Structure 1
């Protein structure tokens, strides 16, 4: 196989190619290299190299902006998912990522974290949700709530316009993605007298970002975080603010229609929502949405049929050494990896050394993976972790 090495001229318009065979040296301009060949070459580069290539010439910028190329790069990124970390420090969110371990039976070496960007977040941040390479953040800035979309790969941020609403009303917002139409949408609703009101949707990618009013057939009071799985956004709610009757709201991102799953058991309001192999999962330990070293097991419910409201339930026993591995720490349920079918636990606060833990459903064992490179933080800085993050090089 002939290998081609590319060198860029000073004007950025000429590529000199050199075969590994010295007798066949060539000189070619960019115009003479087919675009599909150029895109294939670019798709083999790292996201950092892609950013550098965008500075070379207008021609390269246009090639790297072709939708086919960005989808090609994204498809390859799905084969190499990453762990995403969002850390709090001095009223800023610091974003890192590392490669995601893919072989659960191989001894895991420490993973090196790559720094991406900083995002101001004000007094508090109540909603962070990565989907399909983008990250939705809802935070308070200068005593005003605002929603921001950021792309850790390109280091871009986009502040969303405020929903059309009356003053002094609480706003709930959720981030969703439709894989069929390849569209990102934000669902927002105001709260009036303990009930959601003025349901609105904003679609990213439009020439002018604006909110559209939509109808919701059943009044409800949204609670806690949401999760988007295969084009359906799930979040928990009660029938009103003071009610103990709970439902799971299902919002179809494509059709923008609501449906509801009745809560037949009290676990729905307390458990943590995760993606379990493309299905909605709820996980908890001893009645809490997190796990500690004192716990001996955890429970998980998986939605098998959203129409019949049926659930699978399993209890997973932790190995005897669990309490010595965790000691007094509290860990979050992060999610189930799509590549290794393990559930991941992450500490709530940074510590040194910093580890994340993987529990194998198959072997009933725990493995620890050390994360390096998130230096400069104090002990006990808050950190949130996400799995199966992908790199998206399209510009917002």
Structure 2
């Protein structure tokens, strides 16, 4: 027979004497809006009344709406060696130094080496093989998802938000990759002939589990390229019918679609996906310019092309550096990097250039660092 657990009288008294119940909700919300996400996550455990406000979806949306006007750089650092540690640090995109900014850290399983996809609405997803974790880097709260149900060697995962059902989802696709992969007639199968065989989706929630879904477009993702999220869709580059194509995944209907790319050799071979002014864009870095192919109409496969000429590096800094195009901020500024913690920002409209130097972290050569732009902080408690 199960023993009945008596309720704690002290806990009841704490709830009754909760001082926050004496304050108007509007005043509490106003105070919470001024606090960093990590503090809000801690206050969630301090008071039932506070918790009810913090967990309310309207408050979460209000906080995110405010944060979206102040986008930040998000740095993910995985420390190797004896002290395995995963750290996240966000800093204002208007500042050139990372000093005096909160750093959220948590201890890792030393056997796991998570690689994170770009954050979506404040949350971020990391995967190491079949192990997946989703968390809020601003609060340090991470949850482990069920393992991906596969024995395949090559796994591609993308993370996004379903605005219709107000949920986050992870999509995983798996591919068989063996050196002696042979066709039925005994000939070696080319890379383009190998396509993803399993397509699985998991919805973040109390009863989360992986679900197999159908894909009508046999394709293979490009290893080493990340997908990007935009307005309820995930986009990524893939090989479809032996040609480089743009794949999209509707997070609400869970349907795939394919868009033909322009017949441009450089774009076909080297183009990378970016979000440019709220539009899906494929960017290709030429010698002194960036070619931007903007998807104007997906249903009609209409693309437009613009070329942005960038100044010579010696003109900007008086010294030679090898800069690589990294992406475009919501402000329209283009980001270039010469190494993992030194960036420059170039505004094509004003022609202004500024340095972005991130100090104080990643000084150990063994550290693995990822930097994400236009990160929006969230106070969501997981």
> TM-score, structure 2 length as denominator?
0.80
User: What is the root-mean-square deviation of aligned Cα atoms in Å?
Assistant: 2.8
Residue 128 of structure 2, aligned match among 131, 136, 139: 139
Matches of 2:219 and 2:47, distance apart in 1: 53
CA deviations 1:187-246 (Å, max 9, x no partner) are: 1122147211121111112x2111122111111111132111111111111136xx4x11
Matches of 1:326 and 1:160, distance apart in 2: 49
Matches of 2:128 and 2:361, distance apart in 1: 24
Deviates more, 1:126-135 or 1:246-255: 126-135
The residue aligned with 1:148 is: 133
The residue aligned with 2:185 is: none
The residue aligned with 1:219 is: 218
The residue aligned with 2:35 is: 45
- Does residue 47 of structure 2 align to residue 57 of structure 1? yes
The residue aligned with 2:11 is: none
Matches of 1:346 and 1:126, distance apart in 2: 20
Residue 68 of structure 1, aligned match among 58, 67, 71: 58
Deviates more, 1:380-389 or 1:298-307: 380-389
2:77–2:362 Cα contact (<8 Å) kept: no
Matches of 1:249 and 1:282, distance apart in 2: 13
Residue 327 of structure 2, aligned match among 326, 331, 335: 335
Quick one: structure 1 residues 116 and 326, their matched pair in 2 at CA, closer, same or farther if it must change by over 3 Å?
Answer: farther
CA deviations 1:95-147 (Å, max 9, x no partner) are: 1110122xxxxxx653434311246475755552211101111225xxxx422
Aligned residues: 345
Quick one: structure 1 residues 122 and 303, their matched pair in 2 at CA, closer, same or farther if it must change by over 3 Å?
Answer: farther
Secondary structure of the corresponding residue to residue 208 of structure 2: coil
Matches of 1:123 and 1:163, distance apart in 2: 15
Residue 383 of structure 1, aligned match among 363, 369, 376: 369
CA deviations 1:17-66 (Å, max 9, x no partner) are: xxxxxxxxxxxx53333323322322222223323423433332233222
Quick one: structure 1 residues 356 and 376, their matched pair in 2 at CA, closer, same or farther if it must change by over 3 Å?
Answer: closer
The residue aligned with 1:95 is: 88
Displacement of 1:332 after TM fit? 4.7
Matches of 2:160 and 2:339, distance apart in 1: 25
Structure 1 unaligned spans of 5+? 1-10, 16-28, 102-107, 287-294
Residue 178 of structure 1, aligned match among 162, 169, 175: 162
1:359–1:365 Cα contact (<8 Å) kept: yes
CA deviations 1:365-385 (Å, max 9, x no partner) are: 32113334x346225844321
Displacement of 1:349 after TM fit? 2.4
Displacement of 1:163 after TM fit? 2.7
Matches of 1:335 and 1:123, distance apart in 2: 28
Matches of 1:179 and 1:361, distance apart in 2: 32
1:129–1:137 Cα contact (<8 Å) kept: no
CA deviations 1:243-274 (Å, max 9, x no partner) are: 4x111111111111111011333314422211
1:148–1:158 Cα contact (<8 Å) kept: yes
> TM-score, structure 1 length as denominator?
0.78
Residue 34 of structure 1, aligned match among 12, 15, 24: 24
Name whichever structure is richer in strand by fraction: 1
1:136–1:148 Cα contact (<8 Å) kept: yes
Secondary structure of the corresponding residue to residue 37 of structure 1: helix
Structure 2 unaligned spans of 5+? 1-13, 182-193
Structure with the greater relative contact order (CA < 8 A, sep ≥ 6): 1 or 2?
A: 2
Displacement of 1:149 after TM fit? 1.0
The residue aligned with 2:354 is: 367
The residue aligned with 2:301 is: 309
